[in-house]
Amino acid sequence: MPLSVDLAPGEVEDVPVADKELLPGKTVQIVVRDFHIAVNQCAGPVSIQQYTYMYAKSPETDNSGAVFGDPTWL
């Protein structure tokens, strides 16, 4: 009996972990511990990549930047 499998590329999704408003004159921080990602029904390799976007807005300036980690293969 022949076996048939339909393979298709997976989806790329952002998984937001935290969001924090910057307050003038204050030190703010985000601490994340023990964050887990589950991958189900995958027939091939999976890669994850950590990243951080920073958006800063004030009456004088709007600015943004990003930092990306190295991809990790699961």
- Examine residue 17 and state whether it is found in any structural domain, yes or no: no
**What residues in the chain have per-residue pLDDT under 70?**
none
pLDDT score recorded for residue 55: 84
pLDDT score recorded for residue 64: 94
- Examine residue 66 and state whether it is found in any structural domain, yes or no: yes
Number of domains making up the chain:
1
pLDDT score recorded for residue 67: 94
Reported pTM: 0.57
Segments forming the whole domain that contains residue 69: 46-74
- Examine residue 74 and state whether it is found in any structural domain, yes or no: yes
Q: Which residues of 39-62 are buried (b: 16+ CB within 10 A; e: fewer)?
A: eeeeeeeeeeeeeeeeeeeeeeee
- Examine residue 11 and state whether it is found in any structural domain, yes or no: no
